[in-house]
Amino acid sequence: MTKRTKIILAIVASIVALASIGGCTMTQKENNKQDKKVASSKKATKDDKEAIKQKQLAYLKNHEQEIIDLVKAQSPKVESVQIDWEETQWSDGGLTNPEYYINVFGRINNIEESGWGVDIPINDDNTLNIDGMYIGSDIRIGGRLFA
């Protein structure tokens, strides 16, 4: 091989190496942009879900009396019902039941060691089926059923 051929091959090899490094850098920058878009999209989705939960909670608070009436209907001994809004949970029905629920918890008669739970179905459009609510956890005092 002549000296001139070696120089041309070296130049071509250098150009190919630089092009591949540059291409990898450009691809990585594109991936970073896509990762940022996905992350911001996930954050927006999370913000949307949180906004929906806040609307659902506000709706429940507007229908607080219906929840109280349902709990009171379980026993004539229930004089008062306290709802613990801080303990409200959003859950799915589990493996065999694909429905979603809001679980509301509280106490009765101002007894600290009492407890109950009401489950409220969530419709497909994220509205609440207040007419479909039911006692999910029976009234208990100190772990024993309240009769």
For residues 100 and 80, membership in a common domain is answered with: yes
Beta-carbon contacts of 112 under 8 Å, excluding residues fewer than 6 positions away, are none
Say whether pLDDT at 18 is over 80.
Answer: no
For residues 74 and 53, membership in a common domain is answered with: no
Domain extent for 126: 65-145
Predicted pLDDT at 10: 73
Instruction: List helix spans (H) across the chain.
Output: 3-62, 64-72
For residues 56 and 73, membership in a common domain is answered with: no
Say whether pLDDT at 104 is over 70.
Answer: yes
| Of the residues 34, 62, 90, the one at which a domain ends | 62
Predicted pLDDT at 28: 66
Say whether pLDDT at 21 is over 80.
Answer: no
For residues 97 and 82, membership in a common domain is answered with: yes
Segment 97-123 mean pLDDT: 93
For residues 133 and 80, membership in a common domain is answered with: yes
For residues 80 and 140, membership in a common domain is answered with: yes
Predicted pLDDT at 52: 93
Predicted pLDDT at 15: 82
For residues 52 and 105, membership in a common domain is answered with: no
